[in-house]
Amino acid sequence: MVSNSMNIRRVAGALGAEISGVDLAQPLDDQTILRIRRALVEHQVVFFRDQILTPEAQVRLGARFGSLNIHPYVAGMAGHPEVMEIIKEPEDRVNFGGGWHSDMSFLPAPAIASILYGVEIPDFGGDTLFASQAAAFEALSPGLQRTLEGLNAVHSAGREYSPQGHSAQKRKSMAVAEAEGAVGEFVHPVVLIHPETGRKALYVNPAFTLRIEGWTKRESRPLLHFLFEHCRYEAFTCRFAWSAGSVAIWDNRSVWHFALNDYAGQRRHMRRVTIDAGPPDG
Ligand code: SIN
């Protein structure tokens, strides 16, 4: 399907745009996918309203952006291992994604994008916050930028998914497996250069970044603490209020996100597919 009526409206100063005039459930032509990809790279997170996405349609849409991830610790849907159900039941206390992070930075090759679809949304609350890590990098002094560009950081899923992890095992509504044994540590540059735009972004996050490579945890703590505080500054953020049928697509290479847990006693049900590697056509 060709969408000639696609309209893109920015929603905040640092990042975020709402796209209307496209039905994501239809088989989309290459030009439409290209326009969405360009908007995603430019705005870092894009939002759509009033969509009806079956799991099959969400997988089909995700596959247009690249190969799909199968989460190593969270079970996918039966018959759709690439689709992760993110559910918080009224009696649950802990939510999934309730802290600033970039998806899958704990893998050797982290995910490049995620597509989240709202199935059931609480009457109030349950918004998702996004923070531009490109804006965060650009706001630093040239001196600190240069220093950070020479550093790598060590990431791991251990805090979230190991048996000692602080939250994964408390999410009873989701099939979250504890990692058995070592979850592995993987090194990524502290400053990522976006392969499509050349724009630089900070790439450390409080959920998965353990330390600066070659530094002890104690030595790393003050710098990481500074960056974690800096990176969530309000002017770098936007906030998405979900309705059933909303879709958000974000670029994990330059965006943090945070699922707010402010809807106790209500149910929230989302489905996510996560894109591992670049688009099939380069
Ligand atoms: C996540 O992918 O971290 C979940 C985001 C959300 O549920 O809003």
Token readout for 113 is 């994008």
258 C-alpha vs ligand 1 centroid, how far in Å?
7
Which residue CA neighbors atom 6 of ligand 1 most closely? 259
Check whether 174 has a pLDDT greater than 50.
yes
259 C-alpha vs ligand 1 centroid, how far in Å?
5
> Which of the four pLDDT bands, split at 50, 70 and 90, describes residue 72?
confident
> From CA 96, how far away is CA 86, in angstroms rounded?
7
Which residue CA neighbors atom 8 of ligand 1 most closely? 259
Domains and CATH numbers, the chain: 7-276 (3.60.130.10)
Averaged pLDDT, 131-150: 98
Between CA 199 and CA 192, with CA 42 as vertex, the angle to 5 degrees is: 30
Catalytic residues: 101, 103, 257, 272
Q: What share of the chain in percent tops pLDDT 70?
A: 89
Which residue CA neighbors atom 3 of ligand 1 most closely? 97
Burial of 247 (0-12, 13-18, 19+ CB in 10 A): buried
Q: Which atom of ligand 1 is nearest to the CA of 272?
A: 2
Lining ligand 1 with CB less than 6 A are 86, 96-97, 103, 114, 116, 128, 257, 259, 270, 272
Residue whose token pair is 């206390």? 93
> From CA 241, how far away is CA 126, in angstroms rounded?
7
Token readout for 158 is 């251990």
Averaged pLDDT, 99-113: 94
Q: Are 17 and 9 in contact (CB under 8 A)?
A: yes
Task: State in Å, rounded, how far the first CA of the chain is from the last one.
Answer: 21
Token readout for 114 is 């995620």
Q: How many CA atoms lie within 13 A of 136 on its CB side?
A: 28
Q: Which of 146, 121, 109, 149 is nearest to 49 (CA)?
A: 121
Q: Are 119 and 244 in contact (CB under 8 A)?
A: yes
- Per-residue pLDDT, 251: 98
- Per-residue pLDDT, 179: 57
